[in-house]
Amino acid sequence: MPVEAQEFKAALGRFPSGVTVVTLNHQGQDHGMTASAFSSLSLDPPLVLVCVKKGNATHGLLEAAGSFGVSFLSQDQVERSNRFAGFFPKDADKFADLGFVRGEASGAALLDGAMACLDCSLHQVLDGGDHSIFIGQVEGTRVEGDKDALEPLLYFAGAYRAAGEKLPSGW
């Protein structure tokens, strides 16, 4: 018997995740959404995945566009996360005052100030219950900053969080 939805959400909330903004350009219009259900998938070929709820406005556009960008947010980009999570006036252009470059493969907006950005072509879409799993083949990357100085934005237990101090790896 499957676990109850609230119990499942409570357990998953104990797993910290990075915060990304997934962007796309469809018929000359920019679209984007905040996503924490993002992961690397394969090194050869270079694949990533993002899970998007069916019925979400971005869902159908991702399929139609056939490509997308992913921007990894830093601690100072909480406002951007909120903006693309729906906490922005519905009739306002989410991209109007943001700096970005367009991905060469996707044409998607890759956000300035992000710790890293991926430019992806859509490789495959899989069913994932009430979500779809969009698998992207990474066609290009942009990496910013010194890796030891990066401060990732995390989502944990229903709130934004910061990473703690770097621990010795023992490697």
pLDDT tens sequence across 40-77: 999 999 999 999 999 998 999 999 999 999 999 999 99
Give percent above pLDDT 70 in the chain.
99
Give percent above pLDDT 90 in the chain.
82
- Give the pLDDT of residue 103: 98
- Give the pLDDT of residue 120: 98
Task: Return d(Cα 9, Cα 7) in angstroms, integer.
Answer: 6
Six-digit token string for 59: 């869902």
- Give the pLDDT of residue 148: 85
The average pLDDT across 142-163 equals 92
pLDDT tens sequence across 82-115: 999 988 888 889 999 999 999 999 999 999 999 9
Label the pairing between strands 20-26 and 29-35.
Answer: antiparallel
Task: From 27, 46, 98, 101, select the one nearest 69 (Cα to Cα).
Answer: 101
Residues 6+ apart with CB under 8 A from 65: 24, 25, 26, 106, 108, 122
Does residue 169 carry a pLDDT above 80?
no
Task: From 11, 97, 94, 85, select the one nearest 53 (Cα to Cα).
Answer: 85
Residue-range domains of the chain with CATH: 18-158 (2.30.110.10)
